[in-house]
Every structure is written in C-alpha cells, then in structure tokens.
Amino acid sequence: LYFSAQEGILIFYHIKDLQYEIKICADISQPISSLIFSPDYTSLLLVTDQGTVYSYRPAHSGEAVKLLDTSSSCFLAADFLTPGNNYCVSVTISGEVQVWSLEDGTFLSKLNLGTEVQVT
C-alpha cells in the first residue's frame, strides 16, 4: 500500500497477514495531490497541486525523479498516456492538455480545449 503524507513524503506499507512494515520511499517536500500507477505497475507518478510531477519506480527503490514542473500554468492533474509508460498527459485549469515524455520531461505537444476544466 502506497500513500503520501501531507508533507510530501511517499510511504509504503508492506502488509502480510497481521504484520506490517513501514518504509519511507521518497520525500519531495511538496504536498502530493495524487498517486497514479502506470498500467503495468512499474512506475508511480507523484503529482503535486503546485504542478510538479515526479516518477518513482518501486522496484528500483531509488529517489523520486522530477519529470516536469508546470507550476506556471495552473496545473490540475496528470496521468499516464497509454499504452505503455513512456508519456504522460497533464491538464490546466484553462483547458490546455499537454503531453510530456516521462523519460526526460520533454514537452511534446498540447491541445487547447477552449474551455475551463475542473477535476471531479
């Protein structure tokens, strides 16, 4: 079970039978608004409400890597663009949908919906 604390800490609970173990996986020092697993569960996107997206690979047990920072564009949400784990899509309040490379955070494309967006 992965969850995030208000301070921006990614925590893993390993639960087996009636026993559990707690492990701190990453500290990104920004409140995490959502955690999204890739379709094959090899990567985890950590999304902050400030518009920063980090990638964490549970099998590698390394630090979270900052992929992109969209803080200047009223960021709302991000998710994996399937199939695969190579791209993510983000959306801004103004209705701009953006596609990013998860490999290096490169901005690839955008589409303006022409309307404000809200996440429900």
Task: Please report the beta strands in 40-113, taking only residues with DSSP state E, as ranges in sequence order.
Answer: 44-48, 52-56, 65-69, 75-81, 87-92, 96-101, 107-112
Q: Does domain 2-112 have CATH number 3.40.47.10?
A: no
Contact between 42 and 36 (Cβ < 8 Å): no
* pLDDT digits (tens), the chain, 120 positions: 888 877 888 988 888 888 888 888 888 888 888 888 888 888 888 888 777 888 888 887 678 888 777 655 677 778 888 887 888 888 888 888 889 888 877 889 999 999 988 776
Supply the pLDDT for residue 71: 59
pTM of the entire structure? Answer: 0.74
Supply the pLDDT for residue 111: 92
